[in-house]
């Protein structure tokens, strides 16, 4: 009897770990079956990966692989709503019921004890882009390297991000083909030499339809299994220049260290990948073949960092000095207004950069070491930053004070040892605001598949890492709840889908928030206040 009981407990624990039998949930008695087939001829796709994600929390995904006939099944499912998707190398990742690119699929709703068959998905093959690259005279350029990237909103700025695709160099006719593309909107570029090389100087990296400025690139839209033709463009001839200078440490000594160049956002450019310089032991560096534009140079030496802005107009820039700073220390203490104290390991304090140019080209922000006595320290902070605080459940940030002055959400200058702060007080409170509600469609009917976004009415508070906006999915009953926002005026919107990839922060893009602000519901909350409202769904 003891052995049987132990086995039963182990099976139950295993099921819970797989998201099958969460504590307090209804019994998992439903089944979902289907087939994954090719979109062109309906033939089976064996070894395709199938993913089933519950919409209702707790949302633990289930995975399956199709057999030789393309069949799959999921058993022991709880009643509720699910999203089903499938993927296989060479084919487009697709959701069940998805009809067009950039749109979500259809929810599968299972009742207790139900067996649902024919949850089939037909996967289209990948898309492609073809075209020609020519010079300023219209003659074909052979051997040009093609790249395809997406513009995504990440870390508070729009960036060019590479995607999984295959692009071969242009042939003797200047023709190219980029294949293996998921549906999306892409930036296509070509280059025969780039910053940091001597190859064919005089031609900048060129973005379709023929501009050296990535911010002026025209997006190429690729639909499901679509091959887009005639994306032809000329390389942009430019007068390139050389940037040369020396790197100096905070102590004033020349050194040979890491130094990189990247387009500055001050010109409105989309962020591109950084490139390295040629360096010498005496600290000399050189970036050859740099096209006109505004740039930021970053130098690092261990914990030391420096940024320098340069403008290139076709004339060589020499004698550029980039001197690192030792970094500032931030020291203080966490205090509480409320009953008890939270787990200190669930609190994060970090400097959040406020200038997108003065951000380390790689790596994330340093976080505070919070000690048992609630004192904390953040070493080697550089660049203008706000202090960001992530609070544990049941607590939220009330104020950050320096010598009694409130500096919450205020940009602070760091970098030099003299800019260190040693008497910061971070105040957490358990008096939380709460905004909740249900969402209805245009006919006034309640719905449960949406994302609720609560954001400050003041556009100046829409910055990266801001504590004045939040996005959340609804609970099983369709109700959304957002707790812990600072007191103030907000807009509440419910949208059927968020642009971009789910892992990105596209919903924080000011352009996106602007597009939904006029249809959002205004609300004002004070400290400890709860507010309930019912916004209409915004279909996108």
| DSSP letters spanning 232-282 | -EE--B---EEEEEEEE-TTS-B---EEEEEE-GGGTPPB---EE-EE-TT
Res 3: pLDDT: 37
- Nearest Cα residue to 263 out of 324, 331, 217: 217
Q: Residues 359-378: pLDDT tens digits?
A: 876 666 689 999 999 999 99
Mode of pairing for the β-strands spanning 62-65 and 537-538: unpaired
Tell me which long-range contacts 227-231 makes (C-beta under 8 A, separation of at least 24). 227/127, 227/128, 227/129, 227/130, 228/127, 228/128, 228/129, 228/130, 229/130, 229/131, 230/130, 230/131, 231/129, 231/130, 231/131, 231/188
Res 425: pLDDT: 97
Name the residue with tokens 């609560």.
Answer: 454
CB 192, CB 181: distance < 8 Å:
no
Percentage of residues in the chain with pLDDT exceeding 70? Answer: 88
Query: Considering all CA atoms of the chain, what is the largest pairwise distance in Å, rounded to the nearest integer?
Result: 87
Res 184: pLDDT: 85
Res 182: pLDDT: 87
Distances 158 to 76, 173, 269, 311 between C-alpha atoms, Å: 43, 34, 9, 21
- Nearest Cα residue to 247 out of 298, 172, 183: 298
Phi, psi of 418 (to 5 degrees): -70, -15
Quote the pTM value.
Answer: 0.72
The Cα–Cα gap between 308 and 320 comes to 9
Res 439: pLDDT: 92
Res 13: pLDDT: 39
Q: Residues 279-327: pLDDT tens digits?
A: 999 999 999 888 888 899 999 998 899 999 999 998 999 999 999 999 9
Half-sphere exposure in the Cβ direction for 137 (13 Å, CA): 3
Q: Residues 443-465: pLDDT tens digits?
A: 777 887 889 999 999 999 998 88
- Nearest Cα residue to 196 out of 140, 101, 117, 260: 260
Q: How many CB atoms lie within 10 A of CB 404?
A: 7
Q: Residues 214-237: pLDDT tens digits?
A: 778 899 999 888 999 999 999 988
CB 259, CB 285: distance < 8 Å:
yes
The Cα–Cα gap between 304 and 249 comes to 8
The Cα–Cα gap between 404 and 412 comes to 15
The Cα–Cα gap between 244 and 137 comes to 32
CB neighbour burial string for 105-137, b if at least 16 within 10 angstroms, e if fewer = eebbebeeeeebeebbbbbbbbbbbebbbbeee
Average predicted confidence (pLDDT) for the chain: 87
- Return all residues near 3 (Cβ < 8 A) that are at least 6 apart: none
| DSSP letters spanning 118-140 | ---EEEPBPEEEEEEEE-TTS-B
Res 19: pLDDT: 39
Peptide linkage before 270 cis (omega within 30 of 0): no
The Cα–Cα gap between 278 and 289 comes to 12
Res 15: pLDDT: 40
Res 506: pLDDT: 80
Res 317: pLDDT: 95
Q: Give me the domains of the chain, ranges plus CATH numbers.
A: 2-123 (2.60.40.10), 127-234 (2.60.40.10), 242-323 (2.60.40.10), 328-429 (2.60.40), 434-538 (2.60.40.1120)
Where are the extended beta strands (E) located within 342-486?
Answer: 348-353, 369-370, 375-381, 385-390, 396-402, 405-406, 421-429, 434-440, 446-447, 451-456, 469-472, 479-483
Res 80: pLDDT: 87
With a cut of 50, which residues of the chain have pLDDT below it? 1-23, 196, 502-503
Half-sphere exposure in the Cβ direction for 166 (13 Å, CA): 7
């Amino acid at each position: 009897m003891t052995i049987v009981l132990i086995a039963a407990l182990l099976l139950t624990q295993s099921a819970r770990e797989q998201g099958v039998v969460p504590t307090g949930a209804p019994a998992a008695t439903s089944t979902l079956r289907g087939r994954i087939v090719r979109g062109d001829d309906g033939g089976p796709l064996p070894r395709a990966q199938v993913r089933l994600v519950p919409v209702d929390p707790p949302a633990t995904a289930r995975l399956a692989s199709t057999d030789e006939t393309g069949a799959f099944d999921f058993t022991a499912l709880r009643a509720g709503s699910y999203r089903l998707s499938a993927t296989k190398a060479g084919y487009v990742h697709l959701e069940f019921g998805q009809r067009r690119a950039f749109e979500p699929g259809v929810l599968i709703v299972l009742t207790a004890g139900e067996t649902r068959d024919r949850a089939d998905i037909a996967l289209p093959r990948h898309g492609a882009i073809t075209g020609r690259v020519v010079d300023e005279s219209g003659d074909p350029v052979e051997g040009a390297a093609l790249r395809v990237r997406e513009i995504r909103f990440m870390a508070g700025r729009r960036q060019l991000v590479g995607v999984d695709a295959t692009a071969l160099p242009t042939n003797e006719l200047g023709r190219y083909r980029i294949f293996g593309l998921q549906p999306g909107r892409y930036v296509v570029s070509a280059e025969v030499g780039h910053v940091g090389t001597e190859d064919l100087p005089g031609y900048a990296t060129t973005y379709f339809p023929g501009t050296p400025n990535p911010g002026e690139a025209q997006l190429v839209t690729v639909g499901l299994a679509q091959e887009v033709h005639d994306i032809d463009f000329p390389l942009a001839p430019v007068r390139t220049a050389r940037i040369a200078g020396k790197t100096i440490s905070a102590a004033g000594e020349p050194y040979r260290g890491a130094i990189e160049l990247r387009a500055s956002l001050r010109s409105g450019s989309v962020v591109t990948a950084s490139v390295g310089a040629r360096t010498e032991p005496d600290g000399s560096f050189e970036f050859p073949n740099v096209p006109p534009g505004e740039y930021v140079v970053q130098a690092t030496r261990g914990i030391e960092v420096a940024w320098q802005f340069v403008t290139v107009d076709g004339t060589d820039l020499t004698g550029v000095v980039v001197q690192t700073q030792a970094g500032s220390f931030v020291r203080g203490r966490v205090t509480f207004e409320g009953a008890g104290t939270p787990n200190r390991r669930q609190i994060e304090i970090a400097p959040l950069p406020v200038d997108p140019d003065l951000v380390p080209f790689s790596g994330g922000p340093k976080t505070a070491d919070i000690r048992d006595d609630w004192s904390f320290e953040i070493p080697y902070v550089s660049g203008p930053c706000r202090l960001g605080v992530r609070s544990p459940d049941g607590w939220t940030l009330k104020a950050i004070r320096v010598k009694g002055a409130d500096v919450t959400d205020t940009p602070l200058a760091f970098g030099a040892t003299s800019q260190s702060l040693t008497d910061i007080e971070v105040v957490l409170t358990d008096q939380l605001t709460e905004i909740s509600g249900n969402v209805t469609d245009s006919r006034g009917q309640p719905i449960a598949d949406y994302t609720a976004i609560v954001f400050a009415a003041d556009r100046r508070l829409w910055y990266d890492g801001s504590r004045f906006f939040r996005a959340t999915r609804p609970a099983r009953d369709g109700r959304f709840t957002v707790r812990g926002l600072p007191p103030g005026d907000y807009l509440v919107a419910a949208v059927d889908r968020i642009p971009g990839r789910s892992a990105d922060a596209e919903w924080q893009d000011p352009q996106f928030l602007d597009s939904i602000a006029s249809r959002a519901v205004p609300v004002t909350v004070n400290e400890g206040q709860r507010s309930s409202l019912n916004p209409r769904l915004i279909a996108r």
